Structure 1
Amino acid sequence: MKMVSYTTAGTIYFNGLILIVFSFGSFSEAKMKVLLVSSLISMVLSLIAVVYTSINLLSNVSGLKTSSEKLAYISDLLRGQEGNPVNPLKQNEKDTQFCIKALDDENPEVRAIAAEALGQARGPEVEEALLELLEDKNSRVRITAARNLGRIGTENAAEPLIKRLAVDKAPVFRVCAIESLGNLKDKRAIEPLIKNLDDKVPEVRLVAARSLGILGGDKAEEALIAKLNKSSPELQKQIILSLGNSGSKKTAGLDSKKAAGALIHKLRDKDPELRKYAAESLGKLEDPESVDPLLECLGDTNPEVRNAAAYSLGTLRAEKATDTLLGMLTEEDSELRITAVYALGNIGSRRAVDALLKTLDDSNPWVRRYAADALAKIGDQKATTPLVKNLNDPDPEVRWATAEALRLLDKQNSR
């Protein structure tokens, strides 16, 4: 800032001299030139002062001493991260180091906001700094660190999170730590998460069930099944969804008969939401033994249960469901018609072609769109002519789906 003061003083002094010159004698062309030159010099000096000040303020973050200054600076960093695909902390090592140093500030608000900003950065040094915060005396700081470790952490973060989870009394911390352990996908977390299915705080139990579903495996699945009928309706819903994840081939590589059996039993639950979630999860397990129980659900009194069952039967490509699904094409509920069309396309039975051709005139554009998709999947060439007229459909999505269906049918025909 001394540079600014000297420049300003110099400018004032220089202008003073010019004024003295002009106080003597008459005005002449020479004096005019001197005046113009002096004005130019003053502008240059002022510009130098402004540029120097800006550079100094932007680069000298080490000059920020007070907690208030640090809070303001890091808040600006976070605002710069909003909606910015190129994160400032990933580009600016100085800011990253500044935030790491701010973690030692005596003000917990500064430590928390610095941890939040570092959650957008990467690297072992950042991870190590956040891991140390798990032992911070302030719960908000620990919570922020735990949440962000799930976002940027590696397998090195799992053990410290597990250790802190066992002793931390703040429910929100336990929720964040459990979520992060699920995101890290470290199997060492399974046993600690199973223990948290018995936590006295409902939110902790819910997130433990969710993370166990992400981690998958026999132990997680068995623990979830054991809790299924002994839990609140809210926790039962989460367990049902988690069983669909933990037992699915995509997640765990398992042929999960136990999970399927537990979910089939839930198809008869008095709570329609539980029946719906059970039907959804059975579609993920790809167990052929669930086809008949799901077929029964197509007659459920609740339309959401019927819809979930129809979708799962389509996912399972259950051809024996074709006739019942064809009957759903005339349902008053458009959601049921849409799902039935989707399921019939997935199953791929040519017996569905004539009924699907009629749905090209359905009042709902989504039914017409999915009908085009379904007919393309089945691959019957007699769908070509009826599809052509839908190239003029008022809905652009229907026109696009129709054009794509015709392209696929033509490709199949040319083989």
Structure 2
Amino acid sequence: MSKESIETLVAELVHEEDWRRMRATAACLAGGPKAVQALIDAMHSGPPVLKQEAAAMLARIKDPHAGVALVGLLEDGEAAVRKSGATALEQMAGVLDTETAAALVALLPKTEEGETKRLVTHLVGAIPTAVVPLCQMMKHPDPDAQVTAALMLDQLLDPRSVDAFIDAMGQPAVRDIAVGTLRKLGAIRERIDGTFDALRDVEGASEREEARMATVVDLLGIGRPAVEILIEYLEDEDWLVREAAADLLGKIADVRAVEPLMRRLQHDKDTGVKELAIKALGLIGDARPTALYLEAIPIRPLRVYAMEALAKIKDVEVLRPHKELFDRLRTDRDGLVAYNAGLIADKLEALTAEPAGDQIGDQEGQSHE
């Protein structure tokens, strides 16, 4: 076991020797809050190359406490550092809190047109919690800031902004934008409500399944503006409506849907809804449902979908503790289960091809002889 402090190990993320970089990576991944704080400190005071590595490491750890510090990198003088901060924020979009979103939104009015402004604008659109500070920004005393927020919200067309736009009707700078956006939001709500009302009225098993697929095709084109409304429909009394909502959320693949879909997978009494929920989560590729996928493997109607979802997780590192399970499932009698287990096991073998921790320690000892 190394006696170096976590701060020393963080600095070694950019060491010229491979084994030191690997040791530093392992320490950061296992270091908990102290490691996160050390990485944040490195982003404040380290050289550009260390700032980039620290940002990448925080993206792997996905601790939301690092969000504000990552936003700070967007104002760094080095273009590569700014890009690293933006990449990390985008990868963490689903877990970032309102404080991080507020820090990001605060950059909008003070960032000049150019690459950084485009990065910030893109990130605001990608982070679900940004809607709240954007709504607050429409009350800013500067009319230009009001317009910036209103235009962003008009692009997002998120139903959570309805009240803010209604309040903004009395502000001359954004009145016309508010009227237009509210009209669009109303049309989206009417379209989705009407389509699901029609779906409920369909009778007959085969007819209902055809109607569900037609509903998905009909509403898919709305895209992200439909997400919040579709999340509401995941709680509908009609199982077919819940299935259609889950199917659409998976195809839209917005991270806002991860936790609501996880609740459907956990608690829904209808197997069909569970199937569509797990398939939708797999399409999104977020790592948060990993434990639910593992629990679903023994459940016959869900096991293939669970394995497919596990194979699509973008952060393969979270699967490392379960490598023995996937190795066993490579010989499963179900071909699809075996195939996906093989995909996962191969990825994990690639990750573990590096020297193990005790081998690293041996190398360290030899280097001092």
Q: Which band: TM-score by shorter chain?
A: 0.3 to 0.5
Q: TM-score with structure 2 length normalisation?
A: 0.38
Larger Rg: 1
Q: TM-score with structure 1 length normalisation?
A: 0.34
